[in-house]
Structure 1
Amino acid sequence: MNSNRKGSGLFAGPESAQRYGLRGLVVTGLLAAIAAMVATTVAAALAQAAGVDFEVPEGGETIPLGGFAVVTGVFSVMGVVIAVALRRWSARPAERFVWTTVPLTAISFVPPLLSGAATATVAGLIGLHLVASAVMISILARSLRQEPW
């Protein structure tokens, strides 16, 4: 019996270290996404308590608190996918992740700026983008810097 066979599970070679590293990154990313969802929802609730209405001019509807969590979750998962891809195919994944996600964060400011919403709403939305990005980028970049176990 050859216990050195690929996939035997007895010896942790580079393939299993890579696989575990990716799995750990995904778990870390999903936990970070939950943290970002909570942080943006709490920040949105605090902003509403301070008088920001989050009313979008098209349709005149107010963005519900749950909407912040859902949108944050969707884009956070997209960030995890980017991190996984860079971890897999880049020699410098943490650096490339920051180079990619910081401009994407800046691009995310465009819709609020073009929405025609009140200044407080635009500022609140941009602030929420920064909250979610701070959580996701910092955690995923740190995780990408770590060697796989």
Structure 2
Amino acid sequence: MDSMDDTGIVARPASRHTSHTHRLRGLAVTGVIATLAAMVATTLAAALAQAVGVDFEVPDGGEAIPLPGFAVVTGFFSVVGIVIAVALLRWSARPAERFLWTAVSLTAISLVPPLISGANTATTAALLALHLVPAAVMIPTLARSLRTRTD
């Protein structure tokens, strides 16, 4: 319902487009902050694993995974998660639920390569844990953000 005050200006509720854009932008900002936190947490966890003797050498490449590589890969796949969350917010009736199922499924699939890499037990265990660290940061953060943006 439009109302008019004595200045002749018509007050209207915020347009659906503006509200939707605000929700998408808020989700993206939350996602970027969570991505930075996931990158730091994963890199610190990898450094800790190296400090206790994990070599991160994968037989196929013959070289050890460098510490900055953990941050780069975490950043890349976290951004993929943000894109999925934004798409679900845009096109799904239940984005938080769909995101949760999608992200958990993709995380489970991501555990397969370390298991079949042929790396030693310590490296395999550390790589599995390092897949779960960013998931523990990104999934709850984005799912919670999707819930609060659709209520």
Tell me whether the two structures share a fold, i.e. TM-score over 0.5: yes
Distance (Å, rounded) in 2 between the aligned partners of 1:3 and 1:107: 56
Who is 1:62 aligned against? 64
- Structure 1 position 50, deviation (Å): 1.1
Who is 1:28 aligned against? 30
Distance (Å, rounded) in 2 between the aligned partners of 1:97 and 1:42: 27
Who is 2:109 aligned against? 107
Higher mean C-alpha deviation, range 12-21 or range 99-108 = 12-21
CA contact (8 A) 1:17 1:148 kept: no
Higher mean C-alpha deviation, range 53-62 or range 36-45 = 53-62
Unaligned runs of 5+ in 1: 5-9
Going from structure 1 to structure 2, the CA distance change for 1:11 and 1:40 (only over 3 Å counts) comes to same
Distance (Å, rounded) in 2 between the aligned partners of 1:122 and 1:51: 13
Distance (Å, rounded) in 2 between the aligned partners of 1:104 and 1:87: 18
Who is 2:149 aligned against? 147
Percent identical = 68
CA contact (8 A) 1:18 1:148 kept: no
- Cα deviation 1:60-113 (Å, max 9, x = unaligned): 211011000000000000000000000011111111100101010000011111
RMSD across aligned positions (CA)? 1.8
> Which structure 1 residue ranges, 4+ long, deviate > 3 Å from structure 2?
none
3-state SS of the aligned residue for 2:149?
A: coil
- Structure 1 position 3, deviation (Å): 7.1
Who is 1:128 aligned against? 130
Q: Is 2:93 the partner of 1:78? A: no
TM-score between both structures, scaled by the size of structure 1: 0.91
Distance (Å, rounded) in 1 between the aligned partners of 2:63 and 2:146: 39
Residue type of the alignment partner of 1:121: T
Unaligned runs of 5+ in 2: 1-7
CA contact (8 A) 1:20 1:148 kept: no
Higher relative contact order (CA 8 A, sep 6+): 1
- Structure 1 position 15, deviation (Å): 1.3
- Select the residue among 90, 97, 104 that pairs with 1:95: 97
Distance (Å, rounded) in 1 between the aligned partners of 2:9 and 2:54: 63
Distance (Å, rounded) in 2 between the aligned partners of 1:76 and 1:127: 16
CA contact (8 A) 1:33 1:77 kept: yes
CA contact (8 A) 1:28 1:140 kept: yes
- Select the residue among 42, 45, 53 that pairs with 2:44: 42
Going from structure 1 to structure 2, the CA distance change for 1:148 and 1:95 (only over 3 Å counts) comes to closer
